[in-house]
Amino acid sequence: MTSAANPLSLLLVEPAFVLRRTVTVTARSMQLADVQEAMSVPAGLRMMHTTRFDGLLLAVPVNDESFSMLHDVREGRTMCAADVPIALMLDQCAPDDVRRLRSYHLHRILLKPYKVKSVLEVVASIGAHPVAA
């Protein structure tokens, strides 16, 4: 559990500016998380190599680049804990991709269309599941 003195540190990777800013500002104002933003997988991965996040909220395409990022996190190749909660926001997901994604022990998957309220509920649920130090 997080507190105002020790807020959840969350990385949001989201290419859509309006959604990214809405989630960031709302999560901060509700004291759900201190959200850092990236607009792409490469930018998010660079941030994960320099900063430890308590949770990851990733709006990424289901492709090799995204799978590689998930693999790096779970293998401990970033500053994040290998068991950091990861939630994905996806446009679509084929059955084969679902099977592959399960191996990354994801916290949640949201499929579009989703509401900002649903995204904020995921942020809150990540804060309720802290990882080991």
pLDDT at 118: 95
CA–CA distance, 131 with 100 (Å, rounded to integer) = 23
Classify residue 94 by its DSSP letter: -
pLDDT at 40: 96
Beta-strand runs (E) in the chain: 9-13, 34-38, 55-58, 86-90, 108-111
pLDDT at 2: 47
CA–CA distance, 93 with 11 (Å, rounded to integer) = 22
Choose among 55, 43, 50: nearest CA to 77: 50
The pTM (predicted TM-score) of the whole model is 0.90
CA–CA distance, 120 with 115 (Å, rounded to integer) = 9
CA–CA distance, 84 with 82 (Å, rounded to integer) = 6
Q: Which residues pair with 111 in a beta bridge?
A: 90
Per-10-residue mean pLDDT of the chain, 133 residues long, equals: 68 96 95 96 97 96 93 97 96 89 94 92 86 54
CATH superfamily for domain 9-127 = Response regulator (3.40.50.2300)
Q: Which residues pair with 90 in a beta bridge?
A: 111
